[in-house]
């Protein structure tokens, strides 16, 4: 899990670096293009910022959607594509009128678009894997396989979970109670419980899992079981 997180952090750092490079290059080219076409200096500064701002907002919206297993809405993708094409077009428009010059000018924007999609695919895979693992864990107690053995009075069969399954589910339940106890012992300065996101980050899980722990704890589902007499 740590290796996966390191890979994702490296990818995020690379995409961030490419975004900064593309933004600077695109800003300079769009600024020059605006001045060429009669815009004043203020408009020549604000128009590139509006284009780059559109790309940033659309990118963050898509990133948030991907963290929850979705590809993002049509509007976010449309704004991202339009903003990227505007920057790409400005880069090509002010480049030296040769094939090599246009390729050089277009490269930062093209590299950013490709690397950003690679980052989104990583986020989607991690989200799908996390949701699948948590869903299986949460359903485990309700879907225990059973084996049959004769009752003590010989009157019939009694359903009993396999020993290994019982031990695994007992460990899962104990872990959930431990997490809930940690949340109660690490309250916010105002006395409130930590958010589901904080709980999830503490135990390297998804925010959805953290919210489930908090809801289950508040509902009394994670209380210590009574001692067996």
Q: What is the mean pLDDT of each run of 10 residues along the chain (229 residues)?
A: 75 82 85 90 91 86 75 85 87 86 84 78 68 55 43 46 62 87 87 87 86 88 68
- 94 is a domain residue: yes
| Total domains in the fold of the chain | 2
Domain that holds residue 186: 145-151+159-218
Q: 104-137 burial by CB neighbour count: b if 16+ within 10 A, else e?
A: ebbebbeebbebbeebbeebbebbeebeeebeeb
Residues 130 and 22 in one domain: yes
pTM above 0.75, yes or no: no
Helix (H, G, I), strand (E, B) or coil at 149: strand
Q: Which of 114, 117, 132, 130 is nearest to 205 (CA)?
A: 130
Q: Residue 135's pLDDT is what? A: 56
Helix residue spans in the chain (DSSP H): 2-36, 41-67, 74-93, 99-139, 163-185, 196-202, 207-218
């Amino acid at each position: 899990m740590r290796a996966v997180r390191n890979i994702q952090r490296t990818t995020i750092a690379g995409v961030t670096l490419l975004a900064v490079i593309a933004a600077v290059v695109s800003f300079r080219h769009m600024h020059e293009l605006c001045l060429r076409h009669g815009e004043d200096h203020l408009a020549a500064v604000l128009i590139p910022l509006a284009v780059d701002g559109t790309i940033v907002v659309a990118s963050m919206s898509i990133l948030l959607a991907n963290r929850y297993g979705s590809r993002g809405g049509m509007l976010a993708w449309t704004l991202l594509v339009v903003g990227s094409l505007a920057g790409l077009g400005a880069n090509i428009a002010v480049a030296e009128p040769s094939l090599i010059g246009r390729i050089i000018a277009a490269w930062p924007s093209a590299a950013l678009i490709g690397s950003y999609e690679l980052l989104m695919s990583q986020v989607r895979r991690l989200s799908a894997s996390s949701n699948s693992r948590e869903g299986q864990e949460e359903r485990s107690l309700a879907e225990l396989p059973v084996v049959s053995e004769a009752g003590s009075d010989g009157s019939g069969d009694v359903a009993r979970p396999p020993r290994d399954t019982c031990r695994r589910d007992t460990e899962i339940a104990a872990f959930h109670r431990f997490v809930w106890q940690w949340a109660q012992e690490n309250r916010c300065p105002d006395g409130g419980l930590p958010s589901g996101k904080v709980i999830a980050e503490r135990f390297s899980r998804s925010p959805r899992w953290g919210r489930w722990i908090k809801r289950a704890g508040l509902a009394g589902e994670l209380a210590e079981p009574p001692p067996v007499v």
